[in-house]
Amino acid sequence: MSKVNFFENYNEEKIQDVLNGQSGKDAVIFAMFAEKEKNAVKKLQKECAKKNIKLLGMVFPSLLDKNGFHENGVLLYAPDKIKKAAIFEDVPLSKKALSDYMKNISASFLPEFSRAYKSSLYMVFDAMLPNIASFLDILYEEMGSEVNYVGINAGSETFLPMPCLFDNEREYNNSVLMVLFDEESETIIEHGYTVPEKRLIATSASGNKIVHIDWRPAFEVYKEVIRESYSHEITKDTFYENSVHFPFGIILASGEILVRIPVKLEEDGSLFCVGEIPENSMITLLKAPDRDKLETPAVLMKRISKNNKAANFLYYCAGRRMHMRENAVYEIKELARLKKDFNFFGALTLGEAGSLSGKGYPAFHNGTLVFTQLS
């Protein structure tokens, strides 16, 4: 069988053929389900249990391949070089509890690291977790540069809670799937946002919520900067349809920008974002890439090596798709055009994690294209 199998719907006969090709006590299948297909999760759980195959799965708003997005569908991936995989549930909110929680995770994974060459740690988060950035900070403190990191968020594009991770027996929310591969994967993250000169301070923020910017109500400053910098009016009534085009950027000491898309306006004028905003962090207000230029795929593809591994995955941010509209499909097709010898699969994600440089400290992102290669 090929390493990656994509079906545009849950076809029991074809999926049986894939499962029949797996055998032995170490057999593992990773499954990605489009949200509209999630009622079939229990069928796959039963079949994998019968065949003694370890199942680890996730649910996304939609799946994708080189032809674009698929609102239905199932993707099955049988990895070769997996060292350890587990779903960790009930991720705590407080920093002290999270730190203790992460010590247990690192104690579980660190003995598995190969010292001969780098391993890769692949993570799938429940998008409703409000402290993914903190999770990544503490994870790096515990594991450091011993591993290359890549992460994505599963869940519903409605941003309503739902079980979005599963194994042979259960479905989970408030959880993270972590998989250690005994190889160094190539992971590339691009967003294409340009950075304006105007700087702001998130003077009051908690988790994913910005309450005050420059000591004023967040929405008041947000709409004012959009008007002054981009000549665009935004109101409470038009917030949701416009906010994806004007995300925040957290400015790191390295000069890198972490994109944070505001997805909800609270009654008190505070803004709820996908991803944490540290209090007193320096931020700016970005303008999303030009929908008609399709420049980001070319930048991303120039960074990809010629090594075409068995499994090439592309993850596309849901917020980016909202901004790009019909041109989101053209971005995917442009990637396929630029690398005709690459066949890739993936999902629409609700946040992404990794290093913009491809190495080192993992950060949480919005609005990106993420390309990763695995055996």
In a shared domain, residues 204 and 314: no
Gap between the Cα atoms of 33 and 290, Å rounded: 31
Domain edge (last residue) among 285, 303, 331: 285
Same domain, 20 and 68: yes
Tokens of 322: 């909202």
Q: Which residues pair with 54 in a beta bridge?
A: 28
Judge if 77 and 185 occupy the same domain: yes
Residue 76, pLDDT > 70, answer yes
Residue 1, pLDDT > 60, answer: no
Task: Name the domain boundary from 261, 285, 309.
Answer: 285
Between 16-25, 36-45, 278-287, the lowest mean confidence (pLDDT) is in 16-25
Cβ of 116: how many Cβ atoms within 10 Å?
Answer: 7
Q: Are residues 80 and 147 in the same domain?
A: yes
* Closest alpha carbon to 132 in 159, 145, 151, 112: 151
The answer to whether residues 140 and 362 touch, using CB atoms and an 8 Å cutoff, is yes
Pairing of strands 262-265, 271-273: antiparallel
Asked whether residue 154 falls in the same domain as residue 96, the answer is yes
Structural domain for 39, as ranges: 4-191+292-374
**Same domain (yes/no): 214, 184:** no
With a cut of 70, say whether residue 117 has pLDDT above it. Answer: no
**Pairing assessment for the beta strands 344-349 and 311-317 based on DSSP bridges:** parallel
User: Which residue's structure tokens are 């900070």?
Assistant: 137
DSSP alpha helices (H): ranges in 144-284? 218-230, 239-243
Looking up tokens 């992102």, which residue turns up? Answer: 365
Of 16-20, 107-111, 154-158, 196-200, the range with the lowest mean pLDDT is: 107-111
Percent of the chain with pLDDT over 70: 94
Query: Are both 37 and 134 inside the same structural domain?
Result: yes
- The answer to whether residues 271 and 325 belong to one domain is no
Helix axes 327-338 and 296-303, enclosed angle (nearest 10): 30
Per-residue pLDDT tens digits for 158-169: 888 999 999 999
The model carries a pTM of 0.90
For residues 302 and 231, give the distance between their C-alpha atoms in angstroms, rounded to a whole number: 34
CA atoms of 140 and 137, how far apart (whole Å):
5
Do 186 and 252 belong together in one domain?
no
* Lowest-confidence pick of 19-23, 111-115, 209-213: 111-115
Both 168 and 211 in one domain: the answer is: no
Q: Is the pLDDT of residue 188 over 70?
A: yes
CA distances from 142 to 33, 108, 111, 181, 275 (A): 31, 11, 13, 18, 21
pLDDT class for 116, splitting at 50, 70, 90?
Answer: very low
**Do 171 and 24 share a domain, yes or no?**
yes
Q: How deeply is 242 buried, as exposed, middle or buried, from its count of CB atoms within 10 A (0-12, 13-18, 19+)?
A: middle
The DSSP output letter for 90 is -
Is the pLDDT score of 369 beyond 70? yes
- How many domains is the chain partitioned into structurally? 2
Same domain for 321 and 223: no
One-letter amino acid at 39 equals N
Dist. CA 163–CA 278, nearest whole Å: 27
- Backbone phi, psi, residue 88, to 5°: -110, 120
What is the spatial distance between Cα 316 and Cα 6, in angstroms, rounded to a whole number? 17
DSSP 269-312: S-EEESS---TT-EEEE-BPPPTTT--HHHHHHHHS-S---SEE
**Domain finish residue from 268, 285, 302:** 285
